[in-house]
A and B are shown apart, each in its own frame.
Chain A
């Protein structure tokens, strides 16, 4: 664990502080102030990304530091879920934003790197960006699934979906993005390495996460809301597979593969 005494580090720490403050303020029943601080945190996160982009001279999605920096821009997804999907968990999003930025601030190496030839492709940004968006949606879905398991329902008057329904709605938004990420990655693999499917550990984990959500849809089609707890467990299992895809395969030396450059 290291503290980054740089402008980049300062921007990350300010975002974390703003998200945490927004969370505390919202929990203390000052939602309007909480929202304003959350928005401020998002603005700082955008500045952090912009600064990084300028600094490294390519879309900052190359390594885990940059990816987690992007994951920290959770605010638009949070707003979309609240306004369009009528899904709660707004204050939890602030906490998720801070948790996601923590490894970027204290764990991952922020040394700028030049893009290796394999990453110099028009597919680099859409492939990673689409995956990042889908991961944020799936993280929100699994939070709703945990709420369902814990028996937490929105308060009457809040005009929000119950957790089981909310989980399904968010997975329906995230799944096409997950599919698109998988397919763009496969097409890119063909362009760069000659195979649209290389049986690489990261590819197999990403296939496993996609399949878990596919299983969720089939199970829910069969039983509907009859077994809400099992429905929720499917989604949580899918999120676990995503975390392994994102972190373990990149960080662990147990599974060296074509994607190891991202560590």
Chain B
């Protein structure tokens, strides 16, 4: 191997080892610390050196031109680094300075049901910025796995997990009696009817999921209990078991519309794994009003550099599969056919 090619490979190996060490270090300092660490100026120098070495390597090793798989792997790595750097904090800063492109890199926006919003609070900033279009939240809703369940635990450590379906009755053995689920509430409130307190499902905004449960003791005494999802409830010394109500969220859905010049130009239900893409930004379901479900919080992310990274991913994958699998399979077929 020629001396300068050997030097390039040696340098490449050193940079790979350095990145292994840095990655392991980054894993110990948590995601936030690692993000800051890998965006520091010395690391920017490292990323630039790695990308430069890859380009120099591609130019120096002419043999790569005859090995398309290996070439694609290396070009793919260059594209991933280039796209990553272009979309990074530093990349956005340079784009603003050099080309006047002032894009929000990453931020959050809260939108109330029925209202439009175009203000985004960028990460690490106190000053809101505006998007060139607005988003209107038609509705926000949570969906749950069905059925929800009631967890019954005795003082002796026995547990039953029973589906919370109204009308169902569950025997808990000779010592504990039976439990019947009478009714489930989305927003339980207590009102007064004929001088007595009476529970009812309040349709106004708010959320207080609960179950009405009838406990029949082995002696035949019947008592009614309310089990709340959000409150543990009171337990008394004489209670034979404790009850808790659980619902598992299956989806968070924000029904959104994009408004540009007072016209609806796009609409999408944003869910986890199903972001909205519009105007160079991606909008993700991030958080919500967990008390009354009146607003949603979206994460807003710029797509700068993203498609360069994706192109790099494709090249890296196809290159690796071609170089390590397919070319051997094809050459075997060739040998067999000749």
Q: Interface SS of chain B: helix, strand, loop or mixed?
A: helix
Given contacts A218-B9, A255-B27, A257-B31, contact A176 B321 (CB under 8 A): yes
Instruction: Give the number of A-B contacts (CB < 8 Å).
Output: 123
Given contacts A120-B272, A187-B313, contact A195 B301 (CB under 8 A): yes
B6 touching A211, Cβ below 8 Å: no
15 further A-B pairs in the complex, CB-CB below 8 A; given A114-B248, A201-B31, A257-B31:
A117-B249, A117-B251, A117-B271, A172-B324, A176-B317, A179-B317, A194-B284, A196-B309, A199-B38, A204-B24, A204-B26, A204-B34, A207-B19, A215-B13, A249-B27
B24 touching A205, Cβ below 8 Å: yes
B313 touching A219, Cβ below 8 Å: no
Determine the distance from Cα of A233 to Cα of B34 in the docked complex, in whole angstroms. 28
Q: Interface centre among B10, B26, B282, by most A CB within 10 Å?
A: B26
A200 touching B31, Cβ below 8 Å: yes
Q: Judge if A118 is at the interface, Cβ distance under 8 Å.
A: yes
Determine the distance from Cα of A208 to Cα of B31 in the docked complex, in whole angstroms. 15
Interface size, chain B (Cβ < 8 Å): 49
> Which B residues between 323 and 338 are near A, CB-CB below 8 angstroms?
324-325
Q: Judge if B106 is at the interface, Cβ distance under 8 Å.
A: yes
B12 touching A218, Cβ below 8 Å: yes
Closest-CB distance, B49 to chain A (whole angstroms): 16
Q: Judge if A183 is at the interface, Cβ distance under 8 Å.
A: yes
* Closest 5 pairs between A and B when the two form their complex, measured CB to CB: A199-B34, A117-B272, A204-B27, A176-B320, A208-B23
Bin the interface of chain A by size.
35 or more
> Which A residues between 161 and 215 are near B, CB-CB below 8 angstroms?
172-173, 175-176, 179-180, 183, 186-188, 190-202, 204-205, 207-208, 211-212, 214-215
A residues whose Cβ falls under 8 Å from a Cβ of B = 114-118, 120-121, 172-173, 175-176, 179-180, 183, 186-188, 190-202, 204-205, 207-208, 211-212, 214-215, 218-219, 221-222, 249, 254-258
Q: Interface centre among A121, A218, A258, by most B CB within 10 Å?
A: A218
